[in-house]
Amino acid sequence: MKIGVEEASRILAGANDVLLVGHTDPDGDCLGSLYALAKALKSDGKNALAVIKKPLPAKHRYLADLLTPETKIPPKADLIIVLDTARTARQDFAPAELPEAPTLCIDHHLGDHEEYGNSFYDEKCAACAILVYRVIRELGIEIDNKIADALYTGIVTDTNSFTNQNTTEEAFQVATELVRLGADPGKIAAYVYGSLTPNDLAALSKSLASLELYYNDTIAILTLKKEWTGGRHIDTELFVNYARNLITTELAVMIIETDTGVRINLRSKGGFDARAVAVELGGGGHKAAAGIRMQATIEEAKAALLKVISEKI
Ligand SMILES: [Mn+2]
């Protein structure tokens, strides 16, 4: 059921043991939202635990005091909060891996969120972190500088530093308020955009050389082979933005080879509906930024993508 901020806050206020879960391959918005809400609930005297499966990406290491990979999930909880996803299939920990408990979803993706008992969602919101900000405000919990940093991280990463089409007046307003409360934009930018390794740049140069252009250069496709990264985690957000930033690009595609197939990042300048392409291939996301996972080779994925794109262009 779709609920508002008052009802979401009332549900949270009534719980004591709260387990917070995000989506697979959590991004800055997911991690920032997990961190901020867990810290706020803890400071309010609750037993709140935010769980992630994989180690934090290096660029978000400033959130490590509260977010470490969890091996033991508590056997029971009063409430499970799912952040930054509209679907259980996208959860970092699947429902079967979690204790039985009422679920509250807080999210900004398009979708009916019907899998969740209660959902506070708004697809017009630039970041899940803004919805978490509203909940913390409604609960009357103080926002310290760590919570402010985490929420600011969500806004700055999901708007691509206030440059994506989803950048609203509210995104600026909440970011301004978070800076007033102690968030440090320069520090966060240094972490988020300044954590590359020489190996990252070597992989980037190979990926950029793989550029293929279709439909009068409006569709830009980059690939990233496992052999170029040696299996290391690479921050592909940067890569796909290079393809998006071509003057002719309407839709940028990044196909990343994984152990089980491929992961695909789609980014548009706003005119082309990236989500519509993703949904046809089993993925999801937003109009300007979407993603897909497929059990396929890079070439198979490229062929499937180009077929769907050809019907939409
Ligand atoms: Mn998000």
CATH number at residue 222: 3.10.310.30
Q: Regarding beta strands 47-51 and 79-83, do their DSSP bridges make them parallel or antiparallel, or are they unpaired?
A: unpaired
Residues 275 and 185 in one domain: no
Domain with residue 83: its CATH number is: 3.90.1640.10
Q: Return the higher-pLDDT residue of 286 and 152.
A: 152
CA–CA separation, 171 and 151 (whole Å) = 11
Q: Do 61 and 38 share a structural domain?
A: yes
pLDDT tens per residue, range 195-250: 988 888 999 999 999 999 999 999 999 999 999 988 777 888 888 999 999 999 99
Do 90 and 218 share a structural domain? no
**Whether pLDDT at 272 is above 90:** yes
127 Cα to the center of ligand 1, angstroms: 5
For residue 206, the enclosing domain spans 198-312
Indicate the number of domains in the chain. Answer: 2
* Percent share of the chain, pLDDT over 90: 88
What residues have a C-beta under 5 A from ligand 1, the ion?
29, 84, 128, 158
**pLDDT tens for each residue of 120-144:** 999 999 999 999 999 999 999 999 9
Examine the fold and report which residue of 178, 193, 208 is the final residue of a domain before the chain moves on: 193
User: What span, in angstroms and rounded, lies between the C-alpha atoms of 267 and 242?
Assistant: 10
- pTM, 2 dp: 0.91
Q: Which amino acid is at 245?
A: N
Ligand 1 center to 216 CA (angstroms): 31
Give the Å distance between the CA of 30 and the centre of ligand 1. 6
| Structure-token pair, residue 158 | 């999901």
Same domain? For 184 and 237 the reply is no
Of 243, 119, 108, 251, whose CA–CA distance to 166 is shortest? Answer: 108
134 shares its domain with 84: yes
25 and 75 share one domain: yes
Ligand 1 centre to CA of 158 (Å) is 6
Both 130 and 248 in one domain: the answer is: no
pLDDT band at 156 (very low <50, low <70, confident <90, very high): very high
